[in-house]
Amino acid sequence: MPTRWSFGAVASALTIALAAPLSAAAPAFATDPVTLDSAYVLDEVDALSTSDEAAANARLADLYASTGVDLYAVFVDDFTNPSDRNEWADAVAYDNGLGQSQYLLAVATDSRQFTISADSSGPLSEDQLLAIEADLKPFLSSGDYLGAITTAADSFETALTGGSGGGGFFAVVLLVIVVAALAGLVLWIVIRSRRKRKADPQAVSLDELARRAASALVATDDAITTSTQELGFARAQ
């Protein structure tokens, strides 16, 4: 069984003061490790509105589409059986069969704690996960739970791809440059062939040269498309 570890061990860094302090008369509840459902977000305490929960699920689905990594978010009032936040999050991960590329953000709103459970063989390093948790603290402290999930997804994408979508834009720009260069090459071949044709009546016809150039252009475009797809598959893995 893969080893999982969470990053809530350093209380001074990872224990947070969440917004909306509890009323003295408010009842306290505790939650055993939960069972995840088909959605990315499991909100046991109505920390998110219906629209915010839908937006959070959509953002986490986009994260998977762009990186191949799942991030689940669970909101409960308090952690119990076990009460340690790290053990609780890891228990949820184990019980739900989370794998190497599946992460769990667990937030206890009453006890004001959170942690991220990760597989030790996953694509993100300990330093990267600690940095992500640091990114989340301001949002969780202010009670902006949707902002926390959105920031987590953004931080995961940046850590996994080296940027927030910039790689895809660069690939498109590179493809445009290559196609423009090939178009210029075809134009140069046509102009050059016209000059040769005047001096050599036996030269290859313009139609034949155009056909050859077009074939070369199609072959190059196919190669670029294949390379782009392979890059996408490699990122997903």
In tens, the pLDDT along 82-122 reads 999 999 999 999 999 999 999 999 999 998 899 999 999 99
CA 133/CA 151 separation, integer angstroms: 10
pLDDT of residue 184: 72
**pLDDT category of residue 169 using cuts at 50, 70 and 90:** very low
Domain ranges of the chain: 4-161, 166-236
Given CATH 3.10.310.50, say whether it is the number of domain 4-161: yes
Residue 43 reports pLDDT greater than 90: yes
- Amino acid 118 reads A
Q: What's the whole-model pTM score?
A: 0.61
> Please, which residues have CB within 8 angstroms of residue 169's CB and are 6 or more apart in sequence?
none
pLDDT of residue 111: 87
Sheet with 41-43, edge to edge strand ranges = 4-6, 113-119, 102-108, 70-76, 41-43
Residue 139 reports pLDDT greater than 90: yes
